[in-house]
Structure 1
Amino acid sequence: MKQDPRRPSRPRADSGAVGDLTPPPDFPSTFPDPIEPDPMLATELDRARLIQSSLLPAQLPAVRGFDLAARYLPATHVGGDYYDVLPLRGGRFGIVVADVSGKSVSAAMIMVMARTIFHGLAPAMASARATVLEACERITPDLPGGTFLTLAYGILDPETGSVSVVNCGHNPPLLWTTLKNRPMVETVPVNGPAIGLVRGSAFERALVEREIPLASGDHLLFHTDGVNEAMDVNANEFGDRQLVKAIMRGGTKDAGGMAQEVVNAVLHHRGIAPASDDLTVLDVWRLP
């Protein structure tokens, strides 16, 4: 093959030629240090984690005839999970499990806003649906473009033993119960649009409330998508089937045992893979 006259000749590796290895005049004598983590970014993430941790209750309230327990595992980055149990008028309790799209400080601040609104609204509202409708009216105008909030909100009435639930684009609650002494897991059929995606009358028409009676020994499990979407190193999701299996194993345990059973199953599936999203589980168990 003929040498292209426009290209400089280059010695072959096996030719024995050394060639001119003198660096050009403008060649740097030193190289820049490796890129260090941005301290401003690290500070922002630390601030977001601090905000997020301050939102979560130190302990859940005692509820006559029921046992409540929650488990929360943060992601390797800052996620947007939030849960709470709020004392309401008439001895009832409001249960919130929510997840905001986006990460870092912006997600944490949206959760601060949502928490403040629910704490202010919930005690005076008559129903779960009315609470969420009013909360949506207050939250939506302040959401940045493209940001939305999913949540499941339920009102637990210890007198009736029921939980009235609305769902805004969130994972529906799962009910562990028995039918003719046979344990089973049911998905509570309650769905609605996420807050921030649909507004006004369209949101109101789409939002439904469903009452779930809990028999003695029943579990009602709320969770975020960090559970069923948890992935192993091969990007295989934990999935709904494994979640149901974990709930079946935890059905004879108390609320803390049920919540931990789900968390343990997710951690076993995930293995050494990093947590790509927050994980939240909140279980309501009616005492036998």
Structure 2
Amino acid sequence: MTPVFISLLVILLLMMAAGILMLARLAFQQKHALVALRAEEEAIVAEERRMFHYLHDLGEAIWRDDQQASMHRLIVEGAIRVTQSSGGALYLFDEATQRLVPRHHSEFCAPLIEIPQRVRQQMKDNPSALLNLLRMHAVGVDEGLLGGVFVQQKAELVANLSADTRLGADAVDAQQDITTMIGPLSFGTRRLGVLAVTSPKSGRSYNANDFEVFNSLIEQSAFALANAMSHQEAAKSRMDQQELLNASQIQQVLLPEHDPEWPGFVVAGKNIPARTLSGDYFDYLKLPGGKFGAVIADVSGKGIGAAMITVMCRTLMRAKSSSASSPSAVLAALNRQIAPDMREDMFITMSYVVVEKDSTKLTLSRAGHNAALLWRKATGNVEAIHPPGLGVGIDKGDVFERVTKDESFEMHPGDCLLLYTDGVNEAMDPKGVEFGEERVQDKLAKYAPQGPKAVIGGIIADLEHFLKGRRSHDDITLIALQKTA
């Protein structure tokens, strides 16, 4: 072989070797890229799986009626798992105090607030002092990192927590070399709070993809949290409504089960609450010496407070009526007992009538209540009986007793007496026109010849027609007594 040929052969062999090395390197790079791509795909799949399990757990929790603390813990622990963080914290907005309140702060979550100097001192002797602070300390919505994210309603990726000036100039060790993702929880126009995850930079470095996943996570968490709140509020409302219904049933049991049988009288009474609970009440009393009594009362206000006062009235009336000498003396004793325990904005109007043993003479005392109306069969006229009187609870004793008096009157066969609360005369039609006392008198005169039940039923029917199907804004209570012989 010639030297030239040998040289060409060597060059060719070297080129082939270089090509083989290049192909080998390329194959290695492709293999490495495939391995990296496969690892990335597996990481994404794992991340999606963690997110799926998180959302599934949230959905289950909403409909399990979990306690709120369980839901809060689930949100934080789920966020930690999805983002593979070391710790997390959930702060919720409290409208009453306008502060962000820690609802769940995991043990290894870095502090997201400025640490007071006193706590720094306590930490030297008690390492748990920091975690105790983090789990209890609420933050104003305009304070620090948490407040800033809440007000701006924008998620942040903080690369170095200790360098963030919103945490103060001097970070504690637990804030050093920490990275965090923090975002606002909101649903529609409702701002719910802030969710954060943290991790040491040495173990976890959040990237753009992590931040995108975190943004999706806070959006789903806010949706789940808002639904859980609505579900729990609805459950509480149902429970409250059931409790009100139970209280209403108890209150109805305390009203007379049936109309009494009094010698020489026919009596009828009715209570129609404007709401679940009534602030009106009426009762019939069998008194010593062959006497009988009827009481009607109207507590200012509505709801549970007014209903409780009616129960107190009933109990005290039954206790005091057996020993007092007159209707006004009974009301005076009741007032002295109940007035000290009533709020300044509450009072009770009452009428108490006693039928004497001979069943012709009646004595009425009125504590600021509507005048009693007496229909006279002989004339067909209606008389108003209104002895002076002060509402129960307005004065604790002396003034009430000086003002409140008795008035006695006779009833003859056919005469009919009506006691009623202002839910009757103050009922308004859709145009704002009151039913009025004059109309009550006209209705009494119309129905009295047919007896007490007709008086009660007729007035209620006419009220319903007057209201045009609307519900009365106030309780309606009536008692009618008619002399028979």
1:163 to 340, 362, 384: 362
Q: SS state of the match for residue 182, structure 1? A: coil
Q: Does 1:146 align with 2:341?
A: no
Q: Shift of the alpha carbon at 1:125?
A: 1.9
- Give the letter aligned to residue 79 of structure 1: S
Q: Shift of the alpha carbon at 1:28?
A: 5.8
- Give the letter aligned to residue 452 of structure 2: A
Question: Normalization by structure 1: what TM-score?
Answer: 0.84
Aligned residue number for residue 471 of structure 2: 274
* Alpha-carbon distance between aligned partners in 2 of 1:166 and 1:223, rounded to the nearest angstrom: 14
Aligned residue number for residue 461 of structure 2: 264
* Alpha-carbon distance between aligned partners in 2 of 1:148 and 1:50, rounded to the nearest angstrom: 24
Aligned residue number for residue 412 of structure 2: 215
Q: Shift of the alpha carbon at 1:191?
A: 2.9
Aligned pairs for 1:132-211 (under 5 A) are 132-178=331-377, 181-211=378-408
Aligned pairs for 1:215-254 (under 5 A) are 215-254=412-451
- Give the letter aligned to residue 275 of structure 1: S
Gapped regions of structure 1 (runs ≥ 5): 1-24
Q: Assess if the C-alpha contact under 8 Å between 2:374 and 2:416 holds in 1.
A: yes
Q: Assess if the C-alpha contact under 8 Å between 2:280 and 2:297 holds in 1.
A: yes
2:320 to 113, 117, 121: 121
RMSD value over aligned CA atoms? 2.1
Q: Shift of the alpha carbon at 1:199?
A: 2.6
Aligned residue number for residue 279 of structure 2: 80
- For these two proteins, the number of residue pairs brought into alignment is 262
Q: Shift of the alpha carbon at 1:252?
A: 0.7
| Alpha-carbon displacement from aligned partner over 1:7-31 (angstroms, at most 9, x marks no partner) | xxxxxxxxxxxxxxxxxx8996769
* Alpha-carbon distance between aligned partners in 2 of 1:67 and 1:247, rounded to the nearest angstrom: 15
Q: Assess if the C-alpha contact under 8 Å between 1:232 and 1:272 holds in 2.
A: no
Aligned residue number for residue 22 of structure 1: none
| Alpha-carbon displacement from aligned partner over 1:202-239 (angstroms, at most 9, x marks no partner) | 11110110002111110010001111111222232211
Percentage of identical aligned residues: 31
Q: Shift of the alpha carbon at 1:187?
A: 0.9
Q: Shift of the alpha carbon at 1:159?
A: 0.2
Gapped regions of structure 2 (runs ≥ 5): 1-214
Q: Does 1:94 align with 2:309?
A: no
Cα gap change, 1:76/1:134 in structure 2, threshold over 3 Å: closer, same or farther? closer
Q: SS state of the match for residue 412, structure 2? A: coil
* Alpha-carbon distance between aligned partners in 2 of 1:47 and 1:100, rounded to the nearest angstrom: 20
- Give the letter aligned to residue 95 of structure 1: A
Aligned residue number for residue 11 of structure 1: none
* Alpha-carbon distance between aligned partners in 1 of 2:260 and 2:251, rounded to the nearest angstrom: 20
Cα gap change, 1:160/1:58 in structure 2, threshold over 3 Å: closer, same or farther? closer
* Alpha-carbon distance between aligned partners in 2 of 1:192 and 1:117, rounded to the nearest angstrom: 19
Q: Shift of the alpha carbon at 1:48?
A: 3.4
- Superposition misfits of 4+ residues, deviation over 6 angstroms: none
* Alpha-carbon distance between aligned partners in 2 of 1:60 and 1:47, rounded to the nearest angstrom: 24
| Alpha-carbon displacement from aligned partner over 1:121-160 (angstroms, at most 9, x marks no partner) | 1122221111111111111112123111110011112405
Q: Assess if the C-alpha contact under 8 Å between 2:335 and 2:397 holds in 1.
A: no
| Alpha-carbon displacement from aligned partner over 1:39-58 (angstroms, at most 9, x marks no partner) | 35324422431232122010
Q: Shift of the alpha carbon at 1:251?
A: 2.0
- Bigger Rg, structure 1 or 2: 2
Question: Normalization by structure 2: what TM-score?
Answer: 0.51
Aligned residue number for residue 253 of structure 2: 54
Higher alpha-carbon deviation: 114-123 or 45-54: 45-54
